[in-house]
Amino acid sequence: MRLSRRKALAAASAAAVGAGVLTAAALPTQALAAGPENSYIVLAPKGHSTARAADRVVAAGGTVVANYNQIGVLVARSTNPSFATAVSGAGVDAVASTAGLGTALEDSATVEVADPAAQQTTGDPTGEPLFGQQWDMTQINVPQAHKVTTGSPNVVVGVLDSGISSTHPDLATQIAKDKSASCIGGAVDTAEAAWNPTTSDHGTHVAGTIAAAINGIGVAGVAPGVKVASVKVVNDDGFIYPEAAVCGFLWAADHGMQITNNSYFIDPWECNCRNDVRQRPVWTAVQRAIRYSQNKGVLNIASAGNSNVDLQHKFVDAGSPNDGSFPVEDRTITGACLDLPAEAPGVVTVSAVGPTRLKSYYSSYGQGVVDVAAPGGDTRFRNLGSPSTLTDAVLSTTFNTATKTNGWGYKQGTSMAGPHAVGVAALALSAHPGMQPGALASWLERTADALACPSGVYNPVPLLQGFEATCSGGNRNGFYGAGEVNAYNPVR
């Protein structure tokens, strides 16, 4: 899985509405022009109700699609070409169209394996038919951890992604259906069909790494005793828009999820810049959503990205936007720009390693940005870059969107590393109930296996261009953060 440099993404109490609220009837009205319908993020001032903003949306010829009064954010749609100007005023802090701000989920092709014959379950992950191909689970000591706990069903992990197949034999018993929903378009749809995958099996693969059942079928997850909830934020065209991300964070927070996995990004630019007039409202809305979820007890874990970028140092982004709708432009990345959600405060950021526990050639990095590392696969290191060795990727659950059949297959990327860290966090929370997000993040880091920086310029794939990297730091460093997660250490 290639996540690209751009990774994903991203509590205010509502003030009482007083008698002086400006209502739609009090606003000036005029004949409104019509054009293509667009979606908008509309921000109320921090700490204030969205009531005034909602009135302004209606008066400007818009419709409120979702009202997230918890964080002062509205998702609106309008055909008025001048909507952004018309809606501005008292009660509206900022507004931005999200047209062109959707980013494609860069999902690598799934390499499927033959359906394994079911075996009698042993209660041991090593007894699963395909466990012998799960080098990643052995590398982070999952079998040892499972002798202590496989996880608690009271722990629910939100998988903010492209949906989870509810019929997969390794996942059907693992999904918290009552907590699953689609957030496409920024509004919630709890129908089972809505949160199942349609055009991508990315979320199904991620979910299997976290919690595939020990049932004598297929593979084993890091934490098969916990539950996963499908929070679908990637649409059928393979894009995630900011309004879907905001909806996803809030849905997880308000429905009892203690951990979320975020293996995606929400902006077609390398980083989201607070000093950009169009990006700032998106940045603010996502930050509010992340803070709200943290205050509700959610630990958000995000992938570091797959462009071998040093996130600690600023650079010129020459590959954005990546959505195909605008000309690619050179842009200097400054301190006002963040890679969200990985660089948002309190989010645990995960880089990827391969079977040798060295940084995967594609994984982005950065001292002070990467918190931990985890297996994401590296199909190129054995042959200096070419050809690839598919079995050095990560094996997990899949869903063939063309044939509508479930299966198992390989993917690689920091998208695959993130769910390993999520699974370990879920085991830790199961062993230590009630641990708050900050403490859980600290525990995940303190129980990781420290990995030293490679010396000199690191380039495991010299036959490929553009993958040199230099690691900085000591026991905690830019490639691996505090080290590779260890499933056994947090629970023993």
pLDDT at 270 over 70: no
From CA 421, how far away is CA 373, in angstroms rounded?
8
User: What's phi and psi for 189, nearest 5 deg?
Assistant: -135, 115
Q: Is residue 124 very low, low, confident or very high in pLDDT (cuts 50, 70, 90)?
A: confident
pLDDT 10s digits, 21-69: 222 333 344 446 678 899 999 999 999 999 999 999 999 999 999 999 9
From CA 205, how far away is CA 388, in angstroms rounded?
20
From CA 214, how far away is CA 24, in angstroms rounded?
56
pLDDT at 30: 47
pLDDT at 103: 57
pLDDT at 107: 54
Per this entry, what is the length of the chain?
492
Which residues belong to CATH 3.30.70.80 in the chain?
Answer: 24-100
Of 87, 46, 77, give the one whose Cα is nearest residue 284.
46
Which residues belong to CATH 3.40.50.200 in the chain?
Answer: 111-470
Mean pLDDT of 411-425: 97
Considering the domain 111-470 in this protein, what is its CATH number? 3.40.50.200
Q: Is residue 16 very low, low, confident or very high in pLDDT (cuts 50, 70, 90)?
A: very low
Three-class HEC string of 280-303: HHHHHHHHHHHHHHHHCCCEEEEE
pLDDT 10s digits, 222-256: 999 999 999 999 888 888 888 999 999 999 999 99
Q: What letter does residue 365 receive in the DSSP assignment?
A: B
Mean pLDDT of 377-393: 95
pLDDT at 266: 67
Q: Is residue 420 very low, low, confident or very high in pLDDT (cuts 50, 70, 90)?
A: very high
pLDDT at 102: 62
Q: Report the greatest alpha carbon distance in the chain.
A: 71
pLDDT 10s digits, 440-476: 999 999 999 999 999 999 999 999 999 999 999 999 9
Look at residue 275 and give its three-state secondary structure: coil
The four Cα atoms 76, 235, 270, 109 give a dihedral, to 10 degrees, of 180
Catalytic residues, by residue number, are 161, 202, 415
Mean pLDDT of 267-272: 62
Quickly count: other Cβ atoms within 10 Å of residue 427's Cβ.
29
Q: Which residues are CB-contacts of 28 (< 8 A; sequence separation ≥ 6)?
A: 59
pLDDT 10s digits, 167-198: 999 999 999 999 999 999 999 999 999 999 99
pLDDT at 326: 58
Q: Please tell me the least confidently modeled range out of 20-24, 111-115, 120-124, 410-414.
A: 20-24
Cβ atoms of 143 and 235 within 8 Å: the answer is: no
Mean pLDDT of 249-267: 91
Mean pLDDT of 127-143: 97
From CA 84, how far away is CA 82, in angstroms rounded?
6
Is it true that domain 24-100 has CATH number 3.40.50.2020?
no
The token duo for 463 is 């036959």
Q: pTM for this structure?
A: 0.88
pLDDT at 322: 57
In degrees, rounded to 5, the angle at the alpha carbon of residue 487 between the alpha carbons of residues 486 and 489 is: 70
